[in-house]
Structure 1
């Protein structure tokens, strides 16, 4: 009897793997002050997070192509093994430099887990059930966002920060075993040469591009490092295109971009993800810096979004069989647009429950949008390109967030800098702004300075949400661009 994939167990393994990678961000953020204090590396703190994202994004398209070429299972298992090795090394790091290097290894492994997991879902579930499963998988991110800070705090208090990395080891091993035993794939060996040169130039291009935007978010000064990063990115991308045109089996087939539907839906996913990062980053900052709430309560403001995101995904699964992607995305991005308008127009004294309502509304919009764009992108490419298409969709969302984080950082920094030099705000400085963002140190500030500082911070955050609202409007505009390509399972009516 021919062995079949155990869909239930494989799905559970996917959810566990997604949770393992999703919780990594929130749990590390919670432990960061303790890690910095232990390893004495405040100046390198941001790179602990940034290097993980950089290497993750850099490897995503490569893994996508390899998954199409040699199968999902070996690439997924390889990613989990690297993630486990990176996690173990992070747990024994003796200084910040070591931790950054080991986080890079962890990120290289994580780059395979998320996109390949979504590709496996597309393989084992028919089109009509896929959106529901993707919705459940997406809900894992929301659960991780809630549990991460609590689990991180508990581990640090009862054990040590090293264990926030060590706990990935048994979870990863169990996930790997389940996937190895119960996912059955057809073994097809391709004779075409692997596109090593295309892979290398693409990785260099992505790494330098994201590094450049990382530096740009820190400072808008045209430093040699900043200019050099973008120059390397441009040259590498140019070489990549030339190489791919001649490659027998290109790492990213350029004919994907001849499909206007594919391009359009990835742009929409990228823009909406760019708005999403503003919500996740700056609503907690608003609540902590302006309202003086602690980190736990500020983070709780995002809980309704995690819950309604799942609802949005299930709504998408119902709509996706009845209406065109254009109609569904028009509805969902319009919902996101209403939420963005509410944030842009909210006054400085906006009550906490209003943030809960806005987050709940945005969750529905995000759930429908991200699920619909993912399923659509998977559905409009040939089966043999499913892995690379799914990975590119993940990459597009990551790039959208990376670029917009830099833009938001520039808006915030410029607004605050301009406000600090005005006569009205004389007597306040950037050190006071840093203290304001921490509820514990905010108590050290002079009472007469606090209202001035809060107004400055609010003006910066308000500027960010105005820009973010423009991003949503742009996404809505993209949806209405007419394309020549037709989708496999959608009508254009």
Structure 2
């Protein structure tokens, strides 16, 4: 496969790597696509307390996020395979189109179940964005260039993420919560226009293409869906039902792994997971995804449900994390080539763990939570840049070009499934603890405590009771986030050590001894 800007000479497909004569135009289109995904993940969070206050359904609060994450997660590996067969451009255009449609329909939703369904459609489209964009960056740039460009993309992600919560809060307070879904549509349309008009792509035909692994995709979908439903729990569901779902998930995932080992063209490269450095990156990305989505989901809930802030205040509470992230990734881009993947990731993981303690402290002493949250979120952001960059670059640099898409898709898949599963676990903690602490109170509308304009629906005693219960329950959620951060540090120390060396340089220096390449990368 090769791709280039329209009007340019097409590169020779025998070169083994996609060559792009005009990288700037393509990079701009990819930045816009990434901005769409980044803004969507953060612009919705400040509006969710308002949405559940309108529709009720605090018991399925996490499902609005998890449905989106599940849909985007299970489609990520499939999009990676389709991109290899149909071309990056076509698949990315399709994903952006479905995402825009889902965004519009989400904004027009009339109930919580309907919103969850439309968020699922959004997720189906979003699954194409991150893996294809990041894979293309791996094709476009060398390791040293990629570290810098990833920093630029992380800045775009950070700016979009910073703008998202603030914009989401303002739109919710001054217009309507529906606009938090409409706002991302123009960005998607602009990105689609640039890709459709400026990028020309040709895909080499295969005489005997391997069959697409639809069976593997079905097994993966069923296994992850059963796992997520079990993790989220449900009102009135027995423990036997939960156990049955977990057994079903374990069975489907086991069959999936066995199937992938025999598949001619597997959805996920199981053999790559046997490499310690890649396995550490996959597990670390799982933790990173859970931490990020967990913080993005439950910090705004603390601000509104405990501190009594508005949607705008909830949006501002997330800004320090993404602001610090966008700064730290530029520093990490210089550290990775010098320090290597392991040292850089360990530094970032330590910062994430220390910052997580700030969230715990803020919940223990609510009167000081504003300062504790600001410092904690900033420190977490400073750690996210080095850690996430080390994971993705470490994996891309450990595999040859023809497997880069599959390996990148595996990292993105792990990060997204981590977000979906962990946010569900945290939601289960919140739901069970709230039910336990408020179990003796009948007719108490918890959602009324989430917006200043609905506080009058509760008596002062009831409002204080809900806030105390919410505070204690979210404290335990933040403790779980700290434990996850500590586990992430364990993943970081398993990355490849030594100075990072571009695999392309290894290929050239060991061209006569290919057996040395894997050993050099592994070290």
Q: Which residue of 1 aligns with 2:40?
A: 24
SS of residue in 1 equivalent to 2:268: coil
Q: Does residue 381 of structure 1 match 2:402? A: no
User: Structure 2: which 5+ residue stretches go unaligned?
Assistant: 1-7, 11-19, 503-519
Q: Which residue of 2 aligns with 1:212?
A: 230
Q: 1:477 aligns with which of 490, 497, 504?
A: 490
Q: Which residue of 2 aligns with 1:79?
A: 95
Q: Which residue of 1 aligns with 2:469?
A: 456
Q: Which residue of 2 aligns with 1:121?
A: 137
Deviates more, 1:450-459 or 1:250-259: 450-459
Relative to structure 1, the CA distance from residue 37 to residue 472 in structure 2 (aligned partners, 3 Å threshold; closer, same or farther) is closer
Deviates more, 1:200-209 or 1:118-127: 200-209
Alpha-carbon distance, 1:365 to partner: 0.5
Q: 2:293 aligns with which of 249, 258, 277?
A: 277
Q: Distance in 2 between matches of 1:54 and 1:465?
A: 23
SS of residue in 1 equivalent to 2:95: helix
Q: Which residue of 2 aligns with 1:408?
A: 426
Alpha-carbon distance, 1:222 to partner: 1.9
Q: Distance in 1 between matches of 2:194 and 2:468?
A: 53
Q: Is the 8 A contact 2:49 2:447 kept in 1?
A: no
Deviates more, 1:455-464 or 1:311-320: 455-464
Q: Does residue 437 of structure 1 match 2:436? A: no
Q: Is the 8 A contact 2:44 2:168 kept in 1?
A: yes
Match runs of 1:252-291 below 5 Å: 252-291=268-307
Match runs of 1:88-487 below 5 Å: 90=106, 100-148=116-164, 151=167, 170-183=186-199, 187-190=203-206, 191-215=209-233, 221-222=238-239, 224=241, 226-346=242-362, 347-420=365-438, 431=444, 433-448=446-461, 450-481=463-494
Q: Distance in 1 between matches of 2:314 and 2:57?
A: 26
Cα RMSD of the aligned pairs, angstroms, is 3.5
Q: 2:71 aligns with which of 35, 41, 55?
A: 55
Relative to structure 1, the CA distance from residue 419 to residue 349 in structure 2 (aligned partners, 3 Å threshold; closer, same or farther) is same
Alpha-carbon distance, 1:412 to partner: 2.5
What TM-score results when the alignment is normalised by the length of structure 2?
0.81
Q: Distance in 2 between matches of 1:336 and 1:180?
A: 40
Alpha-carbon distance, 1:262 to partner: 0.6
User: Structure 1: which 5+ residue stretches go unaligned?
Assistant: none
Q: Is the 8 A contact 1:64 1:116 kept in 2?
A: yes
Q: Is the 8 A contact 1:5 1:183 kept in 2?
A: no
Q: Is the 8 A contact 1:63 1:111 kept in 2?
A: yes
Alpha-carbon distance, 1:388 to partner: 1.6
